[in-house]
């Protein structure tokens, strides 16, 4: 088993973080870090100039925010997940990363909910337009990125760094991020990363990769570098070369997680099936339950849509443009002189699901879904994406085959 | 690239009222210009403090000025229509695909079919074709509008004919003072005596008009691959990042607005896609 060949797709697009775990071709240099060494890791990151962002318990959830110490990690906390349900639970062990995705995602740091795009003043020679109050991006260290969420970051990279690799605020923020992935050893009830080939073992793109071990005699981590920056941090940690027995335990724990996914999805041929299912009955069924609230799009780690807002000051001589997160569930999202193109809830749910799992491939060369399950958990009425896809498959198969068109020839479909 | 993320300044150099709600403005660069556009592409026009909207370029390519024909249907378009000579407008672009597929149509018959203000994005292609005598065997412009008062560029039809185009105009409704054709634009197709095997068609107008026109053309024997239409959706970024302009697999600011009918047809038959 090797990390380098574990995942294809969006991997390799990770930019600053380099591409994988091998120091020497084909050979992984893996070390063991005692759990107490997390504090050394935090200190090394801070002294390298990073603000450390990671999971911690806030209120009744595990959310992402600044960690002033590794002791703020949610040691001993797990979560119980269900459609429309999220509860913290005490674990039997002291695992720091024994929980699956919470309501937040790394998107909120890389692609902030509200951002100024530019400001302008009107002068006699024209408009003076500039980046406004934009500051140099902070150096952020993301501690405890799950493999599915690493893939989500790489999906965002494809969309927001753009085909031309343009200089933009997202690119600058992204280049200043250091990524520490923790392999998944305990998927949640709503997880399906194994179906989406995004986990539980991480693909390349991290600076450091860890696997948490709690079952053995000691609470420790197997750790390896995936970039020169990761290597540099690694040299400052109290590590020792990992014994084969330890790495084997780590690999077994990660491999076993693939068999304990709470959900699954049939992805083979999925974009083609969805392109052929634009008139499916199931859309009416799900739309009758959907509140079109947009929670799924806010919780989703890859939903990137935004709306701009133009504002002026009272003098009218100074204007600004702001970008806000938006959702395809909003009526105004598709507004075109006179009214919305997608006025029904049926059309808006169909747009979200078919974009995420189908047409994203056409637009950006990968699926938009990483199998994290957030949209299932944070849907107030518990709509389960995997259940909807299974129903669409069943309806399509009953109609004569995966891509048998009910409305004439379909183009632009894949798979 | 200049004018890609930040609007650059252009100054209104002339303003022409086309109809009661439609204005053509010509813009000249007040500083560094945006990159050269190709016929069919659009820009994002910014009215200071009001907002920004996508507008197709309606003037000829290859000149430093940018001409746009704008119908006042909302706050931003109304502000742009009201812009007077000397006023500064912000411009980003050019964005999207062009009619350049017609380039492959040399020595063929170039058919342009316009509905209402849909004539605006076709005009640069027509002017470019007219500037290259002998490039096409025929240049045919079929244009329709709801009434004679809603025809845009009406003063130019005579000049287009003089320069070699076959121009036919129709209006949906007319009073006795209208000497020309009455009816929808598809009725002009039969009288154009098209040679389907050597015709390339560019269509722009309301979506239903484009669908019916394209189907009339395919029924007349044109392969869908020879038919191109210009599609419109909500657009905010122009750079394929905001997500608003999706039509199935297409991001119309990047994969459009000019799209082959063979690709577009199955998408246009789905309600609220």
Listed by start position, the domains of chain B span 8-95, 99-269
Q: What is the pLDDT of residue A1?
A: 31
Q: Is the peptide bond before B257 cis (omega within 30 degrees of 0)?
A: yes
Q: Which of B227, B272, B273 to mutate to test the interface with A (most CBs of A within 10 A)?
A: B272
CATH number of B99-269: 3.40.50.80
Helix or strand holding residue A34 (H, E): strand A31-34
Q: Could you list the pLDDT tens digit for every one of the 415 residues in chain A?
A: 333 333 333 333 333 344 444 444 557 899 999 999 999 999 999 999 999 999 999 999 999 999 999 999 999 999 999 999 999 999 999 999 999 999 999 999 999 999 999 999 988 778 888 887 667 889 999 999 999 999 999 999 999 986 555 678 899 999 999 999 999 999 999 999 999 999 999 999 999 999 999 977 789 999 999 999 999 999 999 999 999 999 999 999 999 999 999 999 999 999 999 999 999 999 999 999 999 999 999 999 999 999 999 999 998 899 999 999 999 999 999 999 889 999 999 999 999 999 999 999 999 999 999 999 999 999 999 999 999 999 999 999 998 876 655 444 343 333 3
What is the rounded distance in angstroms from the CA atom of residue A407 to the CA atom of residue A276? 8
Cβ contacts of B1 on chain A, cutoff 8 Å: 166
The answer to whether A333 contacts B51, with C-beta atoms less than 8 Å apart, is no
Q: What is the pLDDT of residue A14?
A: 37
Closest CA in chain A for residue B52: A310
Q: What is the pLDDT of residue A28?
A: 84
Shortest Cα distance, chain A CAs vs residue B266, angstroms: 6
Q: What is the pLDDT of residue B1?
A: 56
B31-35 LR contacts (CB < 8 Å, sep 24+) = B31/A125, B31/A126, B32/B2, B32/B3, B32/B8, B33/B2, B33/B3, B33/B8, B33/B64, B34/B2, B34/B3, B34/B8, B34/B66, B34/B91, B34/B92, B34/B93, B34/B94, B35/B1, B35/B2, B35/B3, B35/B94
The answer to whether A278 contacts B273, with C-beta atoms less than 8 Å apart, is yes
Question: Which residues are CB-contacts of B105 (< 8 A; sequence separation ≥ 6)?
Answer: B136, B200
User: Structure tokens of B194?
Assistant: 């098209």
Q: What is the pLDDT of residue A375?
A: 98
On the question of pLDDT at B163 being above 80, the answer is yes
**B11: pLDDT confidence band, cut at 50, 70 and 90?**
very high
Q: What is the pLDDT of residue B106?
A: 75
Q: What is the pLDDT of residue A162?
A: 67
Q: Is the peptide bond before A32 cis (omega within 30 degrees of 0)?
A: no
Return the number of other C-beta atoms located less than 10 Å from residue A98's C-beta. Answer: 22
CATH number of B8-95: 2.40.30.10
Closest CA in chain B for residue A334: B234
pLDDT tens digits for range B190-232? 999 999 999 999 999 999 999 999 999 999 999 999 999 999 9
CA distances from B50 to A310, B7, B94 (A): 7, 13, 21
Cβ contacts of B236 on chain A, cutoff 8 Å: 306-308
DSSP H helical ranges for A332-377: 345-354, 360-364, 374-377
Q: Name which of A131, A323, A343 is nearest B272 (Cβ-Cβ).
A: A343
Please check whether residue B18 is in contact with residue B217, taking contact to mean a CB–CB distance below 8 angstroms. Answer: no
The answer to whether B243 contacts A306, with C-beta atoms less than 8 Å apart, is yes
Q: Name which of B30, B52, B251 is nearest A310 (Cβ-Cβ).
A: B52
Span B56-84, average pLDDT = 97
Conformational region of residue B260, where left means phi above 0, alpha means psi within -120 to 50, and beta covers everything else: beta
Helix (H, G, I), strand (E, B) or coil at B16: strand
> With pLDDT > 70 as the criterion, what percentage of chain B qualifies?
98
The answer to whether A328 contacts B240, with C-beta atoms less than 8 Å apart, is no
Q: What is the pLDDT of residue A126?
A: 81
Question: Which residues are CB-contacts of B159 (< 8 A; sequence separation ≥ 6)?
Answer: none
Q: Name which of B7, B242, B263 is nearest A305 (Cβ-Cβ).
A: B242
Please check whether residue A190 is in contact with residue A217, taking contact to mean a CB–CB distance below 8 angstroms. Answer: no
């Amino acid at each position: 088993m090797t990390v380098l060949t574990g995942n294809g797709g969006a991997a390799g697009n990770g930019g600053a973080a380099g591409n994988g775990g091998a120091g020497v071709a084909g050979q992984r240099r893996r070390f063991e870090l005692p759990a107490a060494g997390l504090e050394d890791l935090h200190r090394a990151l801070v002294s390298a100039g990073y603000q450390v962002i990671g999971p911690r318990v806030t209120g009744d959830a595990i959310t992402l925010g600044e960690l002033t110490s590794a002791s703020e990690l949610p040691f001993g906390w797990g979560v119980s997940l269900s459609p429309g349900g999220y509860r913290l639970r005490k674990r039997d062990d002291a695992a720091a990363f024994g929980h699956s995705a919470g309501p937040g995602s790394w998107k909120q740091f890389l692609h902030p909910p509200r951002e100024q795009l530019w400001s302008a003043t009107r002068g006699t020679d024209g408009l003076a337009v500039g980046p406004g109050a934009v500051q140099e991006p902070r150096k952020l260290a993301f501690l405890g990125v799950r493999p599915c969420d690493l893939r989500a970051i790489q999906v965002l990279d494809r969309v927001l760094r753009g085909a031309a690799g343009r200089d933009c605020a997202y690119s600058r923020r992204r280049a200043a991020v250091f990524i520490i992935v923790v392999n998944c050893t305990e998927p949640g009830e709503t997880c399906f990363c194994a179906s989406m080939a995004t986990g539980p073992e991480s693909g390349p793109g991290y600076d450091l990769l860890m696997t948490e071990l709690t079952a053995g005699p000691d609470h420790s981590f197997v750790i390896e570098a995936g970039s020169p920056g990761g290597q540099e941090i690694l040299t400052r940690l109290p590590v020792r070369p990992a014994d084969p027995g330890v790495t084997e335990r780590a690999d077994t724990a990660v491999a076993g997680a693939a068999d304990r996914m709470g959900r699954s999805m049939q992805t083979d041929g999925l974009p083609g099936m969805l392109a052929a299912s634009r008139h499916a009955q199931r859309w009416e069924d799900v739309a009758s339950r959907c509140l079109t609230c947009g929670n799924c799009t806010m919780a989703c780690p890859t939903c990137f849509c935004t709306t701009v807002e133009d504002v002026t000051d009272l003098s009218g001589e100074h204007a600004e443009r702001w970008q806000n997160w938006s959702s395809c569930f909003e009526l105004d999202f598709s507004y075109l002189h006179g009214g919305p193109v997608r006025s029904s809830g049926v059309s808006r749910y169909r747009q979200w699901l078919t974009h995420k799992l189908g047409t994203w491939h056409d637009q950006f060369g990968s699926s938009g879904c990483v199998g994290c399950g957030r949209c299932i958990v944070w849907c107030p009425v518990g709509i389960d994406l995997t259940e909807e896809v299974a129903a669409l498959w069943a309806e399509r198969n009953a109609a004569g085959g995966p891509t048998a068109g009910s409305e004439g020839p379909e183009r632009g479909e894949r798979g | 690239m200049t004018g890609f993320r930040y609007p650059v300044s252009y100054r209104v150099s002339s303003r022409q009222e086309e109809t009661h709600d439609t204005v053509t403005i010509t813009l000249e660069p007040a500083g560094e210009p945006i990159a050269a556009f190709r016929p069919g592409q659009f820009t994002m026009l910014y009215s200071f403090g009001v907002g920004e909207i996508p507008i197709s370029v309606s003037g000829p390519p290859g000149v430093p000025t940018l001409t746009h024909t704008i119908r006042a249907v909302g706050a931003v378009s109304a502000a742009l229509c009201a812009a007077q000579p000397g006023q500064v407008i912000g411009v980003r672009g050019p964005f999207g695909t062009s009619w350049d597929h017609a380039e492959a149509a040399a020595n063929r018959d170039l058919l342009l079919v316009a509905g209402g203000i849909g004539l605006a994005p076709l005009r640069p292609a027509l002017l470019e074709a007219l500037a290259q005598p002998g490039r096409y065997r025929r240049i045919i412009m079929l244009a329709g509008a709801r009434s004679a008062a809603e025809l845009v560029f009406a003063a130019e039809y005579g000049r287009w004919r003089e320069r070699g185009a076959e121009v036919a105009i129709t209006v949906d409704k007319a009073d006795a003072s209208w000497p020309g054709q009455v009816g929808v634009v598809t009725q002009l197709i039969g009288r154009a005596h098209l040679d389907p095997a050597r015709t390339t068609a560019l269509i722009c107008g309301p979506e239903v008009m484009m669908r019916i026109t394209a189907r009339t053309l395919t029924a007349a024997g044109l392969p869908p691959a020879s038919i191109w239409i210009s599609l419109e959706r909500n657009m905010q970024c122009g750079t394929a990042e905001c997500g608003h302009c999706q039509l199935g697999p297409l991001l119309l600011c990047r994969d459009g607005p000019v799209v082959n009918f063979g690709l577009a047809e199955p998408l246009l038959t789905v309600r609220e896609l």
